């Protein structure tokens, strides 16, 4: 998949990350982590850069260390997160989802279930059959647990799934799970992922046909193949 030369692939399900992939929450996340960083006397941009695609507890632990009060750090993040609700959809997200059979897509996110459901509802994106959130996994991305769990919930072979991600940790999780992976150049420039298949946004992934058993033929327009 990562040496994709043709623009057509077939998969049984599509597993999406949420923030940065389906939903643009970059402004909200920046404000949340800025306030969090200021509480600890840290440089906000450094914290923001380390937070993409990771569970709050994983970000807090990597920045503050294992000896820190991680529960208090996560509680602070959650309190700040609750103040932010304004988010928007990534271009093409709604259109793509409406063309996927209901039982053939999932979301695997580092956000909590409450926040994920709130953001999806705010953006008018339906809740998928499989919604794997931060509290539902033992290990966050780049561990593949979330994507493996999503495939199991959908009853599909992970090797026949497409993972769509925007951040390095999520992309690594997708690869480690055994799925096909496409990176979306929404959070990082395409040059960040020189060995990946990259699309500008979700308008560049099109479901062209759905088989009797739900298998989907996709037309992909990679930025690195144009």
Residue 225's pLDDT is 46
The predicted model gives 198-207 an average pLDDT of 97
In this prediction, residue 2 has a pLDDT band, given cuts at 50, 70 and 90, of: very low
Task: Specify the domain boundaries for CATH 3.40.50.1000 within the chain.
Answer: 8-24+87-225
Tens digit of pLDDT for each residue in 10-52? Answer: 999 999 999 999 999 888 888 888 999 999 999 999 999 888 8
Show which residues are catalytic: 17, 19
Superfamily covering domain 8-24+87-225:
HAD superfamily/HAD-like (3.40.50.1000)
Q: At a CB cut-off of 8 Å and minimum separation 6, what does 87 contact? A: 23, 24, 25, 27, 28, 119, 122, 123
Tens digit of pLDDT for each residue in 6-18? Answer: 579 999 999 999 9
Q: What is the DSSP string of 145-185?
A: HHHHHHHHHHT--GGGEEEEESSHHHHHHHHHHT-EEEEET
Residue 78's pLDDT is 87
Tens digit of pLDDT for each residue in 65-96? Answer: 999 999 999 999 888 888 877 899 999 999 99
Residue 4's pLDDT is 46
Residue 25's pLDDT is 87
Residue 158's pLDDT is 98
Residue 131's pLDDT is 98
Residue 224's pLDDT is 63
Which pTM value belongs to this model? 0.84
Tens digit of pLDDT for each residue in 114-156? Answer: 989 999 999 999 999 999 999 999 999 999 999 999 999 999 9
- Report which of 130, 135, 165 is spatially closest to residue 149, judged by C-alpha positions: 130
Sheet (strand 8-11) strand order: 8-11, 216-220, 205-210
């Amino acid at each position: 998949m990562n040496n994709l030369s043709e623009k057509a692939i077939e998969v049984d399900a599509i597993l999406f990350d949420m923030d940065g992939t389906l939903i643009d929450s970059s402004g909200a996340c920046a404000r949340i982590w800025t306030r969090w960083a200021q509480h600890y006397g840290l440089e906000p941009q450094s914290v923001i850069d380390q937070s993409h695609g990771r569970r709050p507890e994983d970000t807090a632990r990597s920045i503050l260390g294992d000896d820190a009060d991680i529960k208090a750090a996560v509680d602070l993040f959650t309190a700040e997160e609750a103040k932010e609700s304004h988010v928007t959809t990534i271009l093409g997200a709604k259109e793509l989802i409406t063309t996927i059979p209901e039982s053939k897509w999932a979301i695997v996110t580092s956000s909590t279930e409450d926040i994920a459901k709130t953001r999806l509802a705010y953006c008018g994106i339906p809740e998928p059959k499989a919604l794997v959130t931060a509290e539902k996994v033992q290990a966050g991305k780049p561990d593949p647990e979330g994507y493996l769990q999503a495939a199991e919930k959908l009853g599909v072979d992970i090797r026949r799934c497409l993972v769509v991600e925007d951040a390095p940790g999520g992309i690594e999780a997708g690869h480690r799970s055994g799925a096909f992976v496409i990176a979306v150049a929404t959070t990082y420039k395409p040059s960040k992922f020189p060995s990946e298949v990259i699309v500008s946004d979700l308008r560049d992934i099109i479901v062209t046909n759905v088989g009797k058993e739900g298998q989907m033929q996709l037309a992909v327009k990679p930025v690195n193949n144009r």
